[in-house]
Structure 1
Amino acid sequence: MEFPLVSIIVPMYNTAGCIARCVKSICAQTYKSIEILLLNDGSTDDTLAVCRALAASDHRIALVDKTNTGAADTRNQGIALAHGKYIQFVDSDDWLAPDFTEKLVSAAEAHTADLVIAPFWMVYPENYVEHIRPWEKALQHVLQRNPPRTRAYGYLPAGVYTGQEYAKHLIQKPNTFYYGSPCNKLYRRDLLRKHSLHFRKELFAEDQLFNTEYLRFVHTAVSIPDIGYYYLQNGQSVSHSRVTTADILSLRRRVMLLYRDIYTELGIYPETRAAILRSPFGENEFTLPPLDTPQTHCCKL
């Protein structure tokens, strides 16, 4: 295979204690044709100093220091600066297995894919404190929450899918990190640019909105079985500490209406209508079981 350039976008804000682990895992990728865009979003700690030292050690790193505008706008600036055929996103407190980018690109090139998705590890730090919202406590007799423990998650059997097939699977578990996060996926830069796709500035769940919009342009999606992304749970994140039940229900209603419009465009709304109407109340990895044995879709990789 040829080795197209992959732009790996890392927004950073006050992650001096973990950014080196993240960036070193990217630099160590077995796939070498990468540019690493580190965007410092106005950090007030030593994040910038740490990244300057990292940039001096690897010519593939481009460091951008900017005023604080939030993760969504910072990712958008990364997309605007990217040169690669493909775009990959990594959060600054997470890290990658050495062959993760290679696995994503190999699948994309082999099947001319518009999207590649992979299972991920959800990692809990030793000092993690879980913040359970009141409505989650009320539902505990119905939905059994997983105890905080590192485990793997993935919901789409490995294989090659049409855009419509992928969308049908997604709507069965629409509120999962697996489908909603941009970090366990590979995107085509030309599609993002052509259709002016960007992350909206939201209190939370801008990732889910971005991935939902991208559904419009996915003709071929590939699910790989390789688990190569390590997502670190942060009990102090916005989604855990500042988001109310009203915020969640309001956002999920907006996403439901977006699903209705997009699935209508894809010609699959009648058969997915019930799942779309249920989508605001869908579960996520905190109540769904972890990955067991990877399955395989009919079209083998």
Structure 2
Amino acid sequence: MSIAMSFIIPMYNVAPYLQRCIDSILAQTISKEILLIDDGSTDETLNIALSYVRQYPFIHLVANQHQGVSSVRNMGLRLAKGEFVFFLDADDCLAPGLDLQAIYTQIETHYPEAVIVKGLLQIHLPAPFNTINTSRPVMTTLEPHSMMVVGSIAFTEHMVRTDNCFIHTGSYFIRRAFLREHSIYFHEQTAFMEDFQFLCDVFEYDKPIVEISTLFFYYMRRYGSSFPLMGSMEVFHKKAGFLAYLREAMAHTQRLKPYLRYLYQRQLQEYQYIYDVVSIEYKYAIQGHPELRQWLFILPDEP
């Protein structure tokens, strides 16, 4: 039996959340495999994963030493056998009521040329925020639960025009053959915004993307994962690296340059706010970062 969907789940000390994630996938009737790629967990993550592997022949576990999320996602991508790949973090979960089989059937029937399928996400912020926000469609003409197909370059232009640029791999599933054909993988040297860099590599080829105004997954942001405190120096250094990536990417692409320029300017504005308002510690850090100081105060626009 052919596999329609490969779910690639990177894991690192996610014992409290893993069962919710896997159970949300098991609720889907689509033909599937679940690849649990552990990144050196030291809690009960592996034991929980093994309990599922023993029950379900389509769930597979790979254990590694700690290498980082991009590395383990790439390992899952190399092992995947499904027609589409779906990257879902182990502390997130698919939305209740999502019917991937129905979406897959519609795509194969009406949009067989589509390489990328995008849905909506719902962001759950932890205490003290305790808020829930649902993303809005990029293509603003979409009616609820309808589909629209567009080239990925035009899609990024709409993202800029509507100020709707947040992207997360859990909002997309992508044809595996396309990724293999163009050797598209996550940037393993990247420790911040790795989803963005991966999807930019995908969008660069201007392939058809189908957006469906259906909620795909719950993005459960939590401290200790990719949601550190705004004022942490860890965020400062990661964002500085992301700015460097944007500058380099703008120098090597024409198709995505308006999108990258927009994000670059937004990031600079955020740094300027931090410098002016947030933290004396940040102010000294920026002054001690020669490239960032130049970008902020000498070359504030695009490179």
User: 1:210 is matched by which residue type in structure 2?
Assistant: F
CA distance in 1, matches of 2:261, 2:38: 42
Deviation of 1:107 (Å) = 4.9
Q: Report the structure number with the largest CA radius of gyration.
A: 2
Q: Which residue of structure 1 lines up, in the alignment, with residue 100 of structure 2?
A: 101
Q: Which residue of 2 aligns with 1:196?
A: 183
Structure 2 residue aligned with 1:220, among 194, 208, 211? 208
Do 2:86 and 2:173's aligned partners in 1 also have CA atoms closer than 8 Å?
A: yes
Match for 2:152: what amino acid? G
Which residue of the partner structure matches residue 67 of structure 1?
65
TM superposition score normalised by structure 1: 0.76
Q: How does 1:122-133 map to 2 (within 5 A)?
A: 122-125=123-126, 128-129=127-128
Could you say if the C-alpha distance between residues 198 and 282 of structure 1 is closer, same or farther in structure 2, counting changes exceeding 3 Å? farther
User: CA offsets, 1:121-140, max 9 Å, x none?
Assistant: 11234xx24xxxxxxxxxxx
**What is the deviation of 1:227?**
0.8
| Farther off after superposition, 150-159 or 113-122 | 150-159
Equivalent residues of 1:172, 1:275 under 8 A apart: no
Alignment of 1:233-248 (within 5 A): 233-241=221-229, 243-248=234-239
Change (3 A) 1:104 1:211: farther
Name the CA distance, whole Å, in 2 between partners of 1:273 and 1:89. 23
Q: Which amino acid aligns with 2:159?
A: L
Q: Over residues 51-77 of structure 1, what are the superposed CA-to-partner deviations in whole Å (9 max), with x where a residue is unaligned?
A: 111122222111112222111100000
Unaligned residue ranges in structure 1 (runs of 5+): 130-146, 284-301
Q: Retained in 2: the 8 A contact 1:5–1:86?
A: yes
Query: Structure 1 residues 273 and 204, CA, compared in 2 at 3 Å: closer, same or farther?
Result: closer
Provide the rounded CA distance (Å) in 2 between the counterparts of 1:182 and 1:272.
18
Deviations 1:124-176 (A, max 9, x none): 34xx24xxxxxxxxxxxxxxxxx541121124133211222112123447884
Give the TM-score taking structure 2 as reference length: 0.75
1:40 matched to which residue of 2?
Answer: 38
Q: Deviations over 1:192-229 (max 9, x none)?
A: 11111111132211111111111122420111011120
Match of 1:91 in 2: 89
Higher share of residues assigned helix: 2
After superposition, residues 74-223 of structure 1 pair within 5 angstroms as: 74-97=72-95, 98-102=97-101, 104-109=103-108, 110-111=110-111, 112-125=113-126, 128-129=127-128, 148-157=130-139, 158=142, 159-172=148-161, 176-177=165-166, 179=167, 181-201=168-188, 202-223=190-211
Which residue identity lines up with residue 113 of structure 1 in the other structure?
A
Residue pair 2:38, 2:61 contacting (<8 A) in 1 also: yes
Rounded Cα–Cα distance in structure 1 between residues aligned with 2:162 and 2:191: 22
Amino acid at match of 2:117: V
- Count of aligned positions: 256
Percent of aligned pairs with the same amino acid: 26
Change (3 A) 1:53 1:277: closer
Query: Which residue of the partner structure matches residue 289 of structure 2?
Result: none
Question: Among 239, 243, 253, which residue is 1:252 paired with?
Answer: 243
Would the aligned equivalents of 1:108 and 1:114 in 2 still touch at CA under 8 Å?
no
Give RMSD over aligned pairs: 2.7
Distance 1:100 1:251 in 2: 35
Which 5+ residue runs of structure 2 have no aligned equivalent? 143-147, 271-303
Distance 1:213 1:121, change over 3 A: same
Superposed CA deviations along residues 237-274 of structure 1, whole A, max 9, x for unmatched, are 24515633353144134225424533x1x3x75x7686
In 2, the alpha carbon distance for the partners of 1:275 and 1:3 equals: 41
Whether contact under 8 Å (1:259, 1:276) holds in the other structure is no
| TM-aligned CA deviation for residue 14 of structure 1 | 0.7
Is contact 2:18-2:45 (8 Å) kept?
yes
SS for the counterpart of 2:15 is coil
Q: Distance in 1 between matches of 2:163 and 2:46?
A: 36
What is the aligned partner in structure 1 of residue 274 from structure 2? Answer: none
Distance 1:164 1:228, change over 3 A: closer
Look up the equivalent residue of 1:124 and give its one-letter code. Answer: L
CA deviation digits over 1:86-111, x for unaligned, max 9?
10011001111353433552454231
